[in-house]
Amino acid sequence: MAPPSHPKLAGLDLIQTTYKTVASHSIRTDILIPQNQHTGKRPIIIRFHGGGLVTADSLYMDFWPQWLTDLAIETNAIILSPNYRLLPSATSTQIYEDVEDFWAWVHSPALADLLAAHGAEADLARILSAGESAGGLLSIALALAHPEIRACTAAYPCVDLAAEAFNAPREVLPFGISQDKGLIEKTIEDVLKAGVVESSIEEHERLVFMLALVQHGALGGLYERGTGGEGEGGAISCC
């Protein structure tokens, strides 16, 4: 997780809090408020991080888009960037449960009180959802489920994990590097055996796991696990 002093976060104050607890595991959201003086309510940007639904963190700076910081400062907007449960310790259904629970938390007195303590107020009538890759999928899912969201953006989103691209081996290797297919089964087995909730992972090994899933066409099957859609060949409803 990046420190508040990271260059990509320059001009923003960082607040961190828990929006949900699962089996004694706290799921964090990061709140970033522009340091410039502003009178009145601030618009909201809800941003979901990428990572193939299996890795990364809200403040994993390699995935943080600079335009997000620039837009927040330019428009005096508050960024709300939550973590969410990750595959394979969770199912995709549970990830969408986290997205919905986060949406409820955004509209709760808890956020309003937290922002008020820092001299800020949210304009819940002006919300933009955003995300990259897997986060783009979640951004679209949230916007489709809640049409009151003013606007939605998604950078290179994986919108259909039932597509062949996520279910068949790829001839062109991700980043030109081949990953061991056996890593997939071993990682899933180890994670399920540990039986812990995961919502923030930045270890290099987990990034390699994500690349192996993509290379060997296993991400779609992992996404469908536990949804009742295994082996049915159809797209999974996300909202």
- What's the rounded Cα separation, in Å, for the pair 108 and 91? 26
- What's the rounded Cα separation, in Å, for the pair 213 and 221? 9
Within the chain, where are the H helices? Answer: 66-75, 92-106, 109-117, 134-145, 182-194, 204-215, 219-224
Look up 133 and say whether it is catalytic. Answer: yes
- What's the rounded Cα separation, in Å, for the pair 202 and 210? 12
Q: Which of 58, 129, 133, 199 is catalytic?
A: 133
Q: Cα Rg for the chain, rounded, in angstroms?
A: 18
Exposed (0-12), middle (13-18) or buried (19+): which is 4, by Cβ within 10 Å?
middle
Structure tokens at 2: 């990046």
- What's the rounded Cα separation, in Å, for the pair 57 and 72? 20
Strand 78-82 and strand 25-34: the pairing is antiparallel
Question: Which residues form the catalytic set?
Answer: 133
